[in-house]
Structure 1
Amino acid sequence: MRRLGSVQQKIPCVFLTEVKEEQSRKRDCQQFQVVATENVNPVALEADVDCALATEKLDGTCCYVTLYKGRAHLWARLDRKANKQAEKRFRKHQRSPHSGKGFTWNVEEDFKTVPETWIPAHRVKHHNGLPVPDEHGHIPGWVPVEKDNKQYCWHASVVDCDVRAALVLGPCAEDEDVLEVAAVQLADLLEQTLELIGTNVNGNPYGLGSKQQPVHCLVSHGSVPIRNPPPVDFQQLCSWFQESPEGRVEGIVWHCNDGTLVKVHRHHLGLRWPDGETSLAERAAVVRVGGYNSSKDLFSFFSVLNGHRFSRLRDVKFAL
């Protein structure tokens, strides 16, 4: 199974898209919507998308595992964004009838400061040694997750810095219909991107944990296959998202045999998300996290449940 690595590339939609000038359903600050047409993207056709592996697009926040101070470490997504003055100039340029001529950024002056430990994502282009913003005026990048940084406290909760392990959710090796929460060595996740999901991430569409006992975990990108995926056809995909129990997902990412990735999000099709119970939350789950009994952290709570099987992932609860 192919998984996303450190690339953190922008994945094109499996359908050709068009922009509508109305409030985005996905991003509050975005005054336009990107919607799918019924025409399959030539990129997908050339990559033979009909033979690709369809995987669940998860609703969380992106993370990355790479070295920090010589050891495998979890990094959080942090896009470098323009300051107010530069943002105003950029938006004015976008509304201009001559916006196709390009916009000139002064990266050293136009962007907000970031921590010294910040690094740009691997696919960010550079000019004269400086990173080049993408079409949204952002520079995608990463910062290492530190335990004392409250901004990334939920990222830190899924990592044990002493044993260099992370709490990872994925299909069980013995039965792919069952999910498994396990402690995985960070070294085994090197150069992978993962999604942090849970109680305090993106409104918790999967219903994990509670305010009293938050539950979070990481999911490797591309690790959750779609069971019985529909054909890459606009109408059949719309029907699948609305009518199939397996279709209660945020979207699909297709992993083509030549390495090409294409996706579709429910918002591309004009569909709500979340819309009732999610497919992931309704799947059976087993906990395999043992040997953590020294403190009241997330690892210790999961350790108490070691070996327990739940009929639904959302039923994984801790006794307070």
Structure 2
Amino acid sequence: WGETTLPLALYAKGNENIHTSPHYFFPFFGPGFGEADIFEQATLTAYHSWMNMDNYSPYKDHTMPQINNVIDQLENEYRELIICSSAFGFEHGDVSTKTNALLNQNIDALIVAPQMVVDSDFEGTLHWYEDVYQTIDDANSDIPVVIAEQIGSQPAFIESIVLKVKEELNHLSNDARVSLFLSNHGFPPVKIGLFDAGSDSYHDNADYVFQLVKKAITENISTEKLVKIKQIYAEFAEGENDPENVVFSPMEALNTLPSSCNYVINIPYEFVGENTDTLNALREEFGVEGWDENYENIFTYEEEVTVKITSCVFHTSLREQALYESITCELNQFFP
């Protein structure tokens, strides 16, 4: 994924009129040959979004400081009992390099803690975790590996969303009637090439987090302003990606608003840092371009409903606490 395909490949731009994939490589051999089409599609469709951001994503700048703060907290508490390291999974080879460095320090076990609100087979099991396992196999090591739980399941993360919703509602007048959209990144609930994306654990994991967050909001926020809470997929939720209408897209959610609704708040709650998925894909699905200095947008839908897309960067200390919780839960198995 993301590797250069050499020495020869055909590039197809795609054509919506004849329903071909947006972009893909057809390699005759070498890297990419025989790989699931979903990886090629994900890499290539991200290209134009990346260029829309002037070849810069704030994601690493937003997320790595959170990880570093968690590492400091863990090292202060566990001291010489643990060795901490961080890897940026989107940089080719970084996971393998960091895993090798840990193996060289004669560790007894490895806890892999993804800074992911919603875990998946596509990004986790088949990508980052596979890099870890492959590196361990190549080193002829048999140390046990533990995958920590997604941070979206942690109480601190859920608290961060509840506080954000409270803040957004408090900014509105008493006559506001709000539909809250909690937007996931999204993943196709169908097969993509040879990969059955519909059976990916992402969907169950996303629903689990949404139900936890929705329950917490309902139990902790009592106001006539909030009339509806809806889960949406920012991507892969329309047309051939979702022929059975399993999930709501942004526009499908807007088109089914309660008649009393005059305001929509969309929180991209699956991310802890702004990136191409929040800044480009989500906004494209809403039919808006760009964002302000706070990574927010406010626009009008059908001249009657005000829609606000919030930033996904808020209450970072609670997001850090969620990652800390997911790690210490696993550490407690070794240091009860």
Q: TM-score range by the shorter chain?
A: under 0.3
The TM-score, its normalising length taken from structure 1, stands at 0.25
Write 1 or 2 for the structure with the bigger share of helix. 2
The TM-score, its normalising length taken from structure 2, stands at 0.24
| Greater RCO (CA < 8 Å, at least 6 residues apart) | 1
